[in-house]
């Protein structure tokens, strides 16, 4: 097991943990598919910003992606609030629109660049260790690891600091409003956290598999407990387990790492459901 393999593993674990933290709250809010919408919309932000600054590693791209994430949420909310479209339809209308514009822009203007549609959809985790961070000429390890670790820390910090507010606005929004905590504000806060996480994670996992990182371990944890802090801890544990399992699978059948982790997530979920069902029938 060489150092590059370990770095890949570490990046994956950090990514999975960073994704699963907001994922818990998204599931409780019933907004899991927003992560689908966000990941497609973020591509739009990345492409448009790239076409303006013409540099794939520019920091403006991060800003552009966040703005497009917020814009998607705002448009979706506006469509839903108008009463003319229900929430699901609003989501399903907005993100393909933005994604289509992004795809056409890529085809027209950025055909020979790094934004390859295959990589976007499935990520290029295997290449992550090759982009290293050089501070004063010293190799400090992969950029992806640093970037994702920062995001993990941001997520942990934000969720810890606002834990009570998040808990309140999700489980009892009307009471929260009477206590002058605006659920809307925390909804947007959660979306921004998710957007930041997806922007960095999607280099590693691709557009669609990031949904698995966000939703599935948290959903598995949700099946097993009714306490929020237990759910968060369990989901982190499951995320680590499935990353390890995914690596084993990918190594043995020589396949996509992000795909294998996703499948491991699904398998764990399925196993937990089976265990629960067998417990229920045996109680009779």
Partner 1 sequence: MLATFYKILIGTTLVGITTGIVGCFTLLNKQSLLGDTIAHATLPGLTGMFLIILQKSYALLLFAAATTGLLGAFCVHFITHNTKLKKDAALGIVLSTFFGIGVMFLTMIQKLPTAHQAGIDKFLFGQAATLLHSDIITLMIIAGIVITTIIALWKELKIISFNPAYAQAIGLPVAKIHAVLTCLIVLTVIIGLQTVGLILMSSFLIAPAAAARQWTNKLQIMVWLSVGLSLVATTTGTIISCNYPHVPTGPAIVIIATTITLVSIIIAPNCFVTGKAQQL
Q: Which residues bind partner 1 (CB under 8 A)?
A: 27, 30-33, 35-36, 79-89, 91-93, 96-97, 99-101, 103-104, 107-108, 111, 117-118, 121-122, 173, 183-184, 187, 206, 208-209, 211-212, 214-216, 219, 222-223, 253-256, 258-263, 265-266, 269, 273, 276-277
Measured from the CB atom, is 113 or 157 closer to partner 1?
A: 113
Measured from the CB atom, is 29 or 69 closer to partner 1?
A: 29
CA distance 9 to 182: 39
Measured from the CB atom, is 60 or 175 closer to partner 1?
A: 175
- At closest approach, how far in Å is the CB of 197 from partner 1? 15
- Burial tier of 159 (Cβ tally within 10 Å: 0-12, 13-18, 19+): middle
- At closest approach, how far in Å is the CB of 256 from partner 1? 4
Measured from the CB atom, is 85 or 233 closer to partner 1?
A: 85
- At closest approach, how far in Å is the CB of 25 from partner 1? 12
- At closest approach, how far in Å is the CB of 59 from partner 1? 28
Q: Which two tokens stand for residue 73?
A: 């949420």
- At closest approach, how far in Å is the CB of 153 from partner 1? 25
CB 261 within 8 Å of CB 16: yes
Q: Which two tokens stand for residue 137?
A: 């000429």
Measured from the CB atom, is 83 or 137 closer to partner 1?
A: 83
Coil, helix or strand at residue 59: coil
- At closest approach, how far in Å is the CB of 108 from partner 1? 5
Distances (CA, A) of 226 to 24, 34, 229: 12, 23, 9
- Burial tier of 81 (Cβ tally within 10 Å: 0-12, 13-18, 19+): exposed
Measured from the CB atom, is 87 or 132 closer to partner 1?
A: 87
Q: Which among 204, 201, 205, 248 has a CA at the least distance from the CA of 1?
A: 248
Q: Phi/psi of residue 30, each to 5°?
A: 80, 25
CA distance 173 to 31: 15
């Amino acid at each position: 097991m060489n150092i590059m393999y370990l770095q890949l593993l570490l990046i994956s674990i950090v990514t999975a943990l960073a994704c699963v933290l907001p994922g818990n709250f998204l599931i409780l809010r019933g907004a899991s598919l927003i992560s689908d919408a966000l990941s497609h919309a973020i591509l739009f932000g990345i492409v448009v910003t790239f076409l303006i600054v013409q540099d794939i590693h520019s920091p403006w791209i991060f800003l552009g992606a966040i703005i497009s994430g917020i814009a998607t949420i705002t448009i979706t909310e506006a469509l839903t609030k108008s009463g003319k479209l229900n929430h699901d339809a609003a989501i399903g209308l907005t993100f393909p629109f933005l994604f289509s514009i992004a795809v056409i822009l890529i085809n027209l203007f950025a055909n020979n660049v790094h934004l390859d549609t295959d990589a976007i959809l499935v990520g290029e985790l295997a290449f992550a260790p090759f982009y290293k961070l050089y501070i004063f000429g010293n190799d400090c390890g992969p950029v992806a690891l640093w970037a994702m670790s920062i995001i993990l820390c941001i997520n942990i910090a934000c969720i810890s600091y606002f834990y009570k507010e998040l808990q309140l606005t999700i489980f009892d929004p009307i009471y929260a409003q009477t206590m002058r905590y605006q659920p809307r504000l925390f909804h947007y806060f959660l979306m921004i956290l998710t957007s930041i996480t997806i922007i960095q994670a999607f280099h590693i996992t691709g557009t669609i598999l990031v949904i698995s990182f966000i939703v599935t371990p948290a959903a598995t944890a949700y099946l097993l407990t009714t306490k929020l802090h237990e759910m968060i801890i369990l989901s982190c544990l499951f995320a680590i387990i499935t990353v390890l399992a995914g690596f084993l699978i990918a190594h043995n059948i020589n396949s996509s790492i992000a795909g294998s982790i996703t499948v491991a997530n699904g398998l764990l979920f399925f196993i937990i459901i089976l265990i629960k069902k067998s417990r229920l029938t045996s109680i009779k």
